[in-house]
A and B are shown apart, each in its own frame.
Chain A
Amino acid sequence: MLADYGYIGLLLIVAILFTVSMPLLALSLSFLGIIPRKSNPDKTSTYECGMETIGKTWVQFNFRYYLYAIIFVALDVLTVFLYPWAVNLKELGLLGLISVAVFFAILVVGYIYAWRKGALEWK
């Protein structure tokens, strides 16, 4: 079992090396002079439709994202608990199904409340 994860680790190392080597290849080619390196302030300025950018760009997230995120976290934790049940469905039988249904019912109340309150609307 651990050997399988060792393979994943090896693949991770090779994938990182391979991926990093692609921009490094471009970088070394630009040092060799094959890729042009003629930077100027106009080229590196922020792209916008011909105008100078007004105000700062790095702003805070809109509050709306927070509502989606909190519902997501609640439901995503639920799905984590569902996987062990799904694998052992036959052994757990009817009792398991009922417990999951109760678990769902509690969350569905919250989900309907969020829907009613308009937390799922994007305004």
Chain B
Amino acid sequence: MTLLEQFQLWLATIWPEWAAYITPAIVGIVVVLAFVLLTVIVFIWYERRLLGRFQIRLGPNRLGPEGIFQPIATALKVLLKEDIVPAKGDKLVHWLAPVVVFVPILLIFAVVPFDKGAIFSDLNVGIVYVVAISSVSAVGIYMAGWASNNKYALIAALRTIAQMVSYELPVVLSIIGVVLMVGSLSMSQIVESQNIPFIILQPLGFVIFFLGTVAEMNRCPFDLLEADSEIVAGYHIEYSGMKFAMFYLGEYGHALAYSCIIATLFLGGWQGPLLPPIIWFLIKIVAVFSVIVWMRSTLPRLRVDQLMAFAWKCLLPMAVINLFIVAAEALWLPEALPWIMVVVNFAFASILTLLWSRLFALGGGRVEV
């Protein structure tokens, strides 16, 4: 039973039923929205600072202590910019696209467990809900690229669809690995069953899921749809002012949402010794996000054919093999001996990774230049 449901039961003793149903929902929505917006602002600052450190410079450090108010100043500046709509574009879709990108990202947070019972709505199909909702924002990005009536934006829109379609499969298949171990799709049960975090039990599944989600949230090295060096800024090239800010917020919101999902599925969510659960959860989110920023500052951007080949020829077969290994282990290995599974899975992960790197080197999955 979640905290909000307990609150609702308590309210039902003193208030009429509809008010007792609505009030906890409003409290929950306010908390979720506040968490998302605050964390996104902190993340924008954190990424700029961290990127600065990676590139041996300071990053924004003037406004407030350590430059913490820089994102707020940026937001105000962007808010006061003129809104330019291209004359040849589709004006209604141009308006609608940022909304379609942003709403699904807020909806993902409905099933993120922040603490024991601290989940907005404990759906019994939680993780399928996340998969379904998170692919909707690809439609928004496509709408933005199409409505702008700009060639760069259109190329970005087409690339978005190709990328989303390709990386959806490895992500979904690696989630099934987790579901096999847990035997439930509910997010809170996934966390509660992780006495050992699944990153140790299924290292290969974690790597596939991580790379797939980084591709789905369009971050470096998979950010082909906003590659500055070839298609300028991609789908939001014709956007300015508040609508651009919504894409920007949406991008970080997406990163935050997937950091939460990765922390929940593979890092044990709010579970951890000594510290309070919510602190553990925040530490895990920030750790995941730091790795994403690290990848951004280290790896060069993939070419589009490499991107597709990586998804279809590398991640997808590995995800299928991982799925069957995990299924066999979940069926036959005794639950009292998880360490056998750890050893076997680490061995399989390293063998498969080596095998696939050899395959690409020998020309089996090679892409023509």
- Please give the number of chain A residues whose Cβ is less than 8 angstroms from any Cβ of chain B in the complex: 69
Residue in contact with B183 in the complex, picked from A44, A59, A61, A90, CB distance below 8 Å: A90
Whether B106 pairs with A69 at a CB distance below 8 angstroms is no
B278 sits at the interface (CB 8 A): no
Contacts of A39 in B (CB 8 A): 82, 84
Cα(A59)–Cα(B22), bound, Å: 47
B80 sits at the interface (CB 8 A): yes
Cα(A12)–Cα(B81), bound, Å: 28
Cα(A41)–Cα(B85), bound, Å: 11
Cα(A12)–Cα(B327), bound, Å: 36
Residue in contact with A57 in the complex, picked from B4, B150, B168, CB distance below 8 Å: B150
A interface footprint on B84-123 (CB within 8 Å = 1, 0 otherwise): 1111100000010011001100110010000000001111
Whether B21 pairs with A37 at a CB distance below 8 angstroms is no
Whether B158 pairs with A61 at a CB distance below 8 angstroms is yes
Whether B331 pairs with A76 at a CB distance below 8 angstroms is no
Whether B308 pairs with A120 at a CB distance below 8 angstroms is yes
Give min CB distance, B341 to chain A, whole Å. Answer: 15
B interface footprint on A33-56 (CB within 8 Å = 1, 0 otherwise): 011111101011111100001000
B interface footprint on A1-40 (CB within 8 Å = 1, 0 otherwise): 1011111101110111011101101110110001111110
A63 sits at the interface (CB 8 A): no
Give min CB distance, B50 to chain A, whole Å. Answer: 27
A interface footprint on B55-87 (CB within 8 Å = 1, 0 otherwise): 000000000000000000000000111111111
Contacts of B110 in A (CB 8 A): 7-8, 11
Whether A82 pairs with B308 at a CB distance below 8 angstroms is no
Whether A23 contacts B172 in the complex (CB less than 8 A), given A36-B82, A48-B151, comes out as no
B352 sits at the interface (CB 8 A): no
Whether A83 pairs with B83 at a CB distance below 8 angstroms is no
Give min CB distance, A17 to chain B, whole Å. Answer: 10
A102 sits at the interface (CB 8 A): no
Cα(A83)–Cα(B183), bound, Å: 10
- Please give the number of chain B residues whose Cβ is less than 8 angstroms from any Cβ of chain A in the complex: 79
B173 sits at the interface (CB 8 A): yes
B257 sits at the interface (CB 8 A): no
B112-147 at interface with A (beta carbon < 8 Å): 120-124, 128-129, 146
Whether A87 pairs with B82 at a CB distance below 8 angstroms is no
Contacts of B85 in A (CB 8 A): 44
* Chain A facing B: main interface SS: helix
Contacts of B32 in A (CB 8 A): 11
Cα(A122)–Cα(B303), bound, Å: 10
Closest chain A residue, CB of each to CB of B122:
A4
Cα(A1)–Cα(B243), bound, Å: 36
Whether A72 contacts B166 in the complex (CB less than 8 A), given A11-B32, A83-B128, A83-B185, comes out as yes
B225 sits at the interface (CB 8 A): no
Whether A65 pairs with B150 at a CB distance below 8 angstroms is no
B interface footprint on A59-81 (CB within 8 Å = 1, 0 otherwise): 10110010011011001100100
B interface footprint on A78-97 (CB within 8 Å = 1, 0 otherwise): 01001100111110011001
B241 sits at the interface (CB 8 A): yes
B333 sits at the interface (CB 8 A): no
Whether A79 pairs with B173 at a CB distance below 8 angstroms is yes
Give min CB distance, B60 to chain A, whole Å. Answer: 23
Which B residues contact A (CB, under 8 angstroms)? Answer: 4, 21-22, 25-26, 28-29, 32-33, 79-88, 95, 98-99, 102-103, 106-107, 110, 120-124, 128-129, 146, 149-152, 154, 158, 161-162, 165-166, 168-169, 172-173, 176, 179-180, 183-185, 232, 237-238, 241-243, 245-246, 304-305, 308-309, 312-313, 316, 320, 323-324, 327-328, 330-331, 367-368
- Can you spell out 12 A-B residue pairs with CB atoms less than 8 angstroms apart? A7-B121, A8-B107, A8-B121, A11-B120, A15-B102, A23-B83, A57-B149, A65-B162, A82-B176, A87-B183, A97-B331, A104-B324
Q: Knowing that A76-B172, A90-B330, A115-B312 are A-B contacts, what are 6 other residue pairs whose CB atoms are under 8 Å apart, sorted by A's residue number?
A: A19-B98, A39-B82, A53-B151, A65-B162, A82-B173, A120-B309
